[in-house]
Amino acid sequence: PETITIQELANRMSERAVDVIKFLMKQGQMHKITDVIDADTAQLVAEELGHTVKRVAESDVEEGLFDTPDVDENLVARPPVVTIMGHVDHGKTSLLDAIRKTNVVSGEAGGITQHIGAYQVTSPLGGKITFIDTPGHAAFTAMRARGAKVTDIVVLVVAADDGVMPQTVEAITHAQAAGVPLIVAINKVDKPDANPQRVRTELLQHSIVVESMGGETLEFEVSAKTGQGLDSLLEGLQLQAEILDLKANPERSSEGTVIEAKLDRGRGPVATVLVQRGTLHTGDIVVAGAEWGRVRALVNDVGQNVKEAGPSVPVEILGFNGTPEAGDRVAVVESEARAREITEYRTRQKRERAAARMGSAGRTLADMMR
Ligand code: GDP
Ligand code: MG
């Protein structure tokens, strides 16, 4: 039977294990952090704590679909995938916009008006960096809950005039739980009441020791408003990426994760996907969640049609038969028959779970009316 430890369940939800234990205690179950609970109990806990649950069965149908290892000799460096996190109004959106603007050649097709939920820029040192353009802990948590690991580095934005706030601490917790390294961007240093030093000191209380205080965490003073420090931040990200030694094999069957998806009136289902392994090509048959399709077109972050997209490249996929969900993992399969087999199996599972939930709800209602 499927099981999970309390610690792992808490990690996947980005919740504290103690909160899971507390919840179970209220249900009359006493557990330690290392205890194993069954999948149904885990699902109940997750849903009660406000998470969407997607149970991935270890069935034959899914066999070999994901995480087939890369062969060493084909590994090449890939760009880091970066997510910006931080307290509300500390400048996440402004930073993402400012970074993108400094990098987009004016007049480029689509230009900066194009928005696909992720984009790539070139650091002053020449390396590419991929930014996930959906700031917010919700997206990060949703993806992690589905077992998708998309982020290599988190940029923690802290406003220099406001300091460390509750969502700053939350972001630190998320990043640490996911084992993702942090880089600190002390933003709004253009403001007269900016106090970057206070930010550094406050971070110490959350065991983030920045470089200038003798620690290992890179920190940069920036202003999304004036553009100050953005180049240094990008250089820092490339440096951090080199330390992480990120590699992927571009010459294999592709895997990725849906960053966002929508039903477009003219174009049908459109999924923005971060390619994580291999290279995705037009004409490939892809599955994502309970949806599949043949890739009719790939559109890059500046609105250009492209024939292929390699590791760490964000791209829109056109051609899905239905709209997948953010956080769904994407894989290329060898045939339409295989795609149908997988998605029909997943649809069936979804239905059965929904029916099981309805069943128990019905019983509860009947119990109440006795
Ligand atoms: P988010 O909630 O973290 O996405 O924050 P926003 O990017 O929406 O920024 C919140 C407010 O701070 C907006 O009014 C921005 O114009 C302002 N802001 C963001 N970055 C800077 C900065 O570097 N300097 C100044 N002076 N204002 C900034
Ligand atoms: Mg914002």
Supply the mean pLDDT for the chain: 87
CA of 7 from ligand 1 middle (Å) equals 36
Range from 31-40, 44-53, 86-95 that averages highest in pLDDT? 86-95
Report, as an integer, the average pLDDT of 75-79: 93
Predicted local confidence at residue 86, as pLDDT = 92
CB of 31 closer than 6 angstroms to any ligand 1 atom: no
The pLDDT assigned to 109 comes to 46
pLDDT of residue 147 exceeding 70? no
Tell whether the model's pLDDT for residue 84 goes beyond 80. yes
Strand ranges for the chain from DSSP E: 3-5, 36-38, 76-77, 81-86, 118-122, 128-132, 153-159, 182-187, 219-221, 247-248, 255-264, 268-277, 280-281, 285-288, 291-299, 305-306, 308-309, 314-320, 329-333
pLDDT per residue as tens digits for the range 341-352: 899 888 888 877
Question: How close is the Cα of 290 to the center of ligand 2, in Å?
Answer: 30
> Percent of the chain having pLDDT more than 70?
84
Query: How large is the average pLDDT for residues 91-112?
Result: 72
Q: Is 50 exceeded by the pLDDT of residue 370?
A: no
Angle at 333 between CA 329 and CA 339, to 5 degrees: 85
Q: What is the pTM of this model?
A: 0.78
137 lines ligand 1 (CB under 6 A): no
Residue bearing the CA closest to ligand 1, atom 14: 89
At residue 136, the pLDDT reads 54
- pLDDT digits over 176-196, tens only? 888 899 999 999 999 999 999
* Of 3-7, 36-40, 136-140, 237-241, minimum mean pLDDT range: 136-140
